[in-house]
Homo-oligomer: A and B are copies of this chain.
Amino acid sequence: MTDRLLVANRGEIAVRIIRACRDLGISPVAVFSDADRSSLHVRLADHAVGIGPAPARESYLVPQKLIEAAKRTGARLVHPGFGFLAENAAFARAVQEAGLVWVGPDPASISAMGSKTESRARMKAAGVPIVPGMTTPAKDPAEIAAFGREHGFPLLLKAAAGGGGKGMRIVRSEDEVPAAFERARSEARSFFADDAVYCELYVEHPRHVEVQVLGDRTGRVVALGERECSLQRRHQKVLEECPSPVVSPELRARMEEAAVAAARSVDYVSAGTVEFLLAKDGRFFFLEMNTRIQVEHPVTEMVYGVDLVAEMIRIALGEPMSFASRPEPRGHAVECRIYAEDPARGFAPSPGTIERLRWPQGPGVRVDSGVEEGDTIPLDYDPMVAKIVAFGRDRDEALRRMRRALNETRVEGIETSIPFFLALLDDPDVLSAAVSTQFLEAWKYASPASSDLAAEVALVAAAVAATRESLARRGSSQPRSPSAWRTARPTFGHRE
Contact = CB atoms under 8 A, between A and B. Distances in A.
Interface of A: 15-16, 19-20, 22-25, 34, 37-38, 44, 48-53, 58, 65, 68-69, 72, 298, 301, 305-307, 309, 322-323, 327, 330-331, 358-359, 361-369, 372-373, 393, 397, 400-401, 403-404, 407-408, 483, 486, 490, 492-496
User: Which 7 residue pairs of A and B lie closest in terms of their CB atoms, listed nearest first?
Assistant: A50-B493, A22-B404, A50-B495, A19-B362, A361-B367, A49-B493, A52-B496
A323 B393 contact: yes
25 contacts: A16-B362, A16-B363, A19-B361, A19-B408, A22-B403, A22-B404, A22-B408, A23-B397, A38-B486, A49-B493, A50-B490, A50-B495, A52-B494, A52-B495, A53-B496, A298-B363, A305-B393, A307-B364, A322-B393, A323-B393, A359-B359, A361-B369, A362-B366, A362-B367, A362-B368
Nearest to A487: B37
A360 to B, nearest CB: 9
A395 to B, nearest CB: 14
Nearest to A50: B493
A365 B366 contact: yes
A297 to B, nearest CB: 9
A365 B19 CA distance: 11
A59 B23 CA distance: 44
Contact of A408 (B24, B38, B44, B72): B44
Contacts of A397: 23, 307
Nearest to A488: B34
Given A19-B363, A359-B361, A393-B322, A494 B49 contact: yes
A494 B69 contact: yes
A23 B404 contact: yes
A456 to B, nearest CB: 14
Contacts of A359: 359, 361
A391 B49 CA distance: 32
A419 to B, nearest CB: 17
Given A22-B404, A330-B305, A362 B15 contact: yes
Kindly name the residue among A19, A58, A361 whose own CB sees the greatest number of chain B CB atoms within 10 A: A361
A68 B363 CA distance: 30
Contacts of A494: 49-52, 65, 68-69
Nearest to A44: B408
A414 to B, nearest CB: 17
Nearest to A364: B307
B307 A363 contact: yes
Given A359-B359, A359-B361, A362-B367, 19 more contacts: A19-B363, A19-B404, A23-B363, A23-B397, A23-B400, A23-B401, A25-B400, A37-B486, A49-B493, A49-B494, A51-B494, A52-B495, A58-B496, A65-B494, A305-B330, A322-B393, A362-B366, A362-B368, A363-B368
B495 A34 contact: yes
Contacts of A301: 363
Given A494-B49, A494-B69, A496-B53, A22 B366 contact: no
Contact of A366 (B23, B330, B361): B361
